[in-house]
């Protein structure tokens, strides 16, 4: 598709902030419209990367479960981690990726909590590396 | 909407102020965050044969609020620190019942000729950043120094001790996350566990904590004078380092965390606060409160996201907070706590 949705959002944002916002009453109306314009830029970023950052996060969590599950002493949790590690995203639709991500995050929290209780610092560090990468990918870039 | 407010507001103020010939005019909505609808307006009335005019601000509850806050707390905090001589607008009236204006509201004086910084502006204070930073951290120190009981605010939060105020705050915001989390937040949960495992030392004293003391929540004039500290709606009693940690948070640094609030260098900011408050900013304790600040931010942004996503408050600032700010603080906390191991 050309123009792509992100281009439409970026040009619409530019039209809104450059042409329409100055025509609005100053104060509340201009402020709200300017924020909407900025959020259109955020949406343009997300259109391009949204599926990618979710799919990567899901894949990295599964890989982590594959690595750590064999050493988890809680047998029930270990089984859940092993089962989750072999799941796959059924599509790249955002809603599908989010549904899978919710279950993976639930298990990740349980695993991290257990590793903290056991003071397993090496495994905790692996989780924090994953969380740092994930958080960095989800940051909104201003420039 | 503004026209629907003018007449009821005029009727209310005529009763409340008991002045003859009162007229409300020039009512206009202004930016003021998603937790209250904010309007500027003017009143005129007769006094001693002359016509008196005055600018006022109306802060009315929205249909759904970003964070459910206690209106009387905010109103009392404005009054106490206005009387103390800090740059705080004079509160005029508070109504807790949804009567005259359909929702609770309060009215305060308008401070004119000033600007407020947007968090997204790279350098909002320009040549005045040092001057504003000096006032900003000095005033925060004065809030910390003030005796809550002498201010008449000693009953703000019920009994609060130097040893337990930190856990009170962690519980407060953990509850918000429990109630409002729409998608699981591993970084927020790990942060809560870390805060509980590594408690800070007891507070040096119990102070009034502004609760949202940051760039963007004060008015400054063209000469770089801070004229009004605003948004006291999250004021409570607690460790004064809580406010300092929030003020130093990188989200409020206009892109340069080495200059908190976009003003002075970090070390200088802390020194100004220590000088003004008479307290010490113990590095270990302050580090704990800075991590807490980012966790508190996450809780607020999670709550904002829920309000927006569930259609209770469609103010775009809720969507912005629940997305941009949430991502920002997740990144801050992942970097800080990841480095702890």
Which helix (H) or strand (E) is B83 found in, with range? Answer: helix B71-83
Evaluate whether A68 touches A78 at the Cβ level (below 8 Å): no
Rounded Cα gap, residues B127 and B310, in angstroms:
43
Question: Does B96 or B223 have the greater pLDDT score?
Answer: B223
Tokens of B229: 């500290």
**For domain B2-109, is the CATH number 3.30.360.10?**
no
- Give the residue among B93, B116, B97, B119 at the shortest CA–CA distance from B106: B93
Strands (E), chain A: none
**Whole-number pLDDT of residue A84:** 98
Is residue B68 scored above 70 in pLDDT?
no
Give the C-alpha distances (Å, rounded to integers) separating B210 from B21, B41, B66, B252.
37, 26, 17, 16
Nearest-Å Rg of the Cα atoms of chain B is: 20
Partner residue facing B190 (CB), from A38, A102, A112: A112
pLDDT in tens, B292-335: 999 999 999 999 999 999 998 889 999 999 999 999 999 999 99
pLDDT band at B2 (very low <50, low <70, confident <90, very high): low
Spell out which residues of chain B touch residue A108, defining contact as CB-CB under 8 Å.
186
CB contact under 8 A, B31 and A28: yes
Q: Within its chain, how far is the Cα of B84 from the centroid?
A: 18
pLDDT band at B69 (very low <50, low <70, confident <90, very high): low
**Tokens 């991290």 map to which residue?**
A112
CB contact under 8 A, B331 and A135: yes
**Whole-number pLDDT of residue B64:** 57
CB contact under 8 A, B186 and A109: yes
Evaluate whether B307 touches A119 at the Cβ level (below 8 Å): no
Ranges of each domain in chain A = 5-138
pLDDT in tens, B144-164: 999 999 999 998 877 789 999
pLDDT in tens, A95-131: 999 999 999 999 999 999 999 999 999 999 999 999 9
Closest CA of chain B from A4, distance in Å: 23
Quote ipTM for the complex.
0.96
Partner residue facing A135 (CB), from B187, B323, B341: B187
CATH no., domain B126-338: 3.90.1200.10
A129 touches chain B (CB under 8 A): yes
Is residue B112 scored above 60 in pLDDT?
yes
Angle, vertex CA A118, rays to CA A112 and CA A119, nearest 5: 85
A39 touches chain B (CB under 8 A): yes
Phi then psi for residue B89, to 5 deg, are -60, 150
Query: Could you say which DSSP state residue B65 is in?
Result: -
CATH topology match: B2-109 vs B126-338: no
Spell out which residues of chain B touch residue A131, defining contact as CB-CB under 8 Å.
186-187, 190, 334, 338
pLDDT in tens, A60-103: 999 999 999 999 999 999 999 999 999 999 999 999 999 999 99
Partner residue facing A28 (CB), from B29, B186, B327: B29
- Cβ-Cβ pairs closer than 8 A, A with B, add up to 90
Question: Does A78 or B74 have the greater pLDDT score?
Answer: A78
Spell out which residues of chain B touch residue A101, defining contact as CB-CB under 8 Å.
183
If contacts are CB pairs under 8 Å, which of residues 54-83 in chain A contact chain B?
none
Is residue B10 scored above 90 in pLDDT?
yes
Give the C-alpha distances (Å, rounded to integers) separating B328 from B66, B216, B301, B322.
18, 17, 10, 10
Spell out which residues of chain B touch residue A32, defining contact as CB-CB under 8 Å.
31, 315-316
**Whole-number pLDDT of residue B71:** 81
B interface toward A at CB cutoff 8 Å? Answer: 28-31, 40, 120, 183-187, 189-190, 193, 197, 255, 315-317, 319-320, 323-324, 327-328, 330-331, 333-335, 337-338, 341
State chain B's mean pLDDT as an integer.
93
Partner residue facing B187 (CB), from A36, A39, A131: A131
**Tokens 């009994």 map to which residue?**
B159
Evaluate whether A108 touches B187 at the Cβ level (below 8 Å): no
Rounded Cα gap, residues B210 and B237, in angstroms:
9
Contact partners, residue B328, CB within 8 Å, separation at least 6: A139, A140, B250, B251
pLDDT in tens, B240-277: 999 999 999 999 999 999 999 999 999 999 999 999 99
pLDDT band at B66 (very low <50, low <70, confident <90, very high): very low
Rounded Cα gap, residues B141 and B135, in angstroms:
10
- One DSSP character per residue, B120-135 reads T-S-TTGGGHHHHHHH
């Amino acid at each position: 598709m050309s123009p792509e949705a992100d281009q439409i959002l970026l040009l619409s944002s530019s039209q809104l902030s450059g042409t329409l916002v100055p025509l609005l009453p100053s104060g509340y109306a201009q402020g709200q419209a300017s924020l909407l314009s900025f959020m259109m830029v955020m949406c343009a970023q997300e259109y391009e990367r949204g599926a990618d950052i979710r799919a990567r996060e899901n894949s990295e969590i599964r890989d982590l479960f594959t690595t750590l599950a064999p050493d988890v002493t809680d047998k029930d949790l270990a089984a859940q981690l092993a089962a989750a590690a072999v799941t796959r995203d059924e599509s790249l639709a955002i809603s599908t990726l989010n549904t899978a991500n919710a279950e993976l995050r639930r298990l990740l929290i349980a695993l991290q909590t257990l590793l903290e209780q056991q003071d397993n610092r090496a495994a905790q560090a692996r989780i924090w590396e994953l969380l740092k990468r994930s958080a960095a990918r989800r940051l909104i870039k201003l420039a | 909407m503004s026209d629907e407010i003018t007449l009821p507001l005029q009727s209310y103020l005529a009763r409340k102020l008991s002045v003859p010939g009162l007229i409300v005019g020039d009512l206009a909505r202004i930016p003021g965050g998603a937790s209250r609808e904010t309007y500027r307006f003017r009143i005129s009335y007769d006094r001693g044969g002359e016509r008196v005019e005055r600018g006022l601000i109306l802060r009315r509850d929205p249909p759904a609020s970003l964070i459910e806050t206690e209106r009387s707390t905010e109103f009392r905090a404005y009054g106490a620190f206005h009387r103390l001589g800090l740059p705080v607008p004079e509160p005029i009236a508070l109504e807790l019942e949804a009567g005259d204006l359909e929702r609770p509201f309060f009215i305060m004086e308008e401070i004119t000729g000033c600007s407020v910084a947007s968090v997204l502006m790279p350098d909002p204070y320009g040549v005045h950043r040092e001057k504003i930073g000096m006032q900003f951290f000095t005033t925060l120190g004065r809030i910390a120094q003030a005796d809550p009981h002498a201010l008449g605010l000693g009953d703000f939060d019920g009994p609060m001790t130097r040893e337990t105020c930190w856990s009170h705050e962690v519980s407060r915001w953990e509850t918000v996350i429990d109630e409002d989390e729409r998608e699981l937040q591993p970084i927020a949960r790990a942060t809560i566990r870390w805060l509980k495992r590594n408690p800070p030392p007891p507070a040096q004293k119990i102070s009034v904590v502004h609760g949202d003391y940051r760039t963007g929540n004060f008015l400054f004039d063209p000469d770089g004078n801070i004229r009004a500290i605003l948004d006291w709606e999250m004021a409570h009693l607690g460790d004064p380092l809580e406010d300092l940690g929030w003020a130093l948070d990188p989200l409020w640094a206009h892109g340069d965390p080495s200059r908190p609030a976009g003003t002075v260098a970090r070390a200088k900011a802390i020194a100004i606060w220590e000088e003004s408050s008479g307290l010490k900013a113990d590095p270990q304790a302050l580090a704990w409160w800075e991590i807490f600040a980012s966790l508190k931010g996450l809780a607020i942004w999670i709550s904002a996201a829920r309000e927006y996503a569930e259609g209770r408050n469609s103010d775009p600032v809720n969507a912005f907070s629940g997305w941009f700010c949430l991502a920002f603080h997740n990144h801050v906390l992942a970097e800080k706590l990841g480095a702890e191991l």
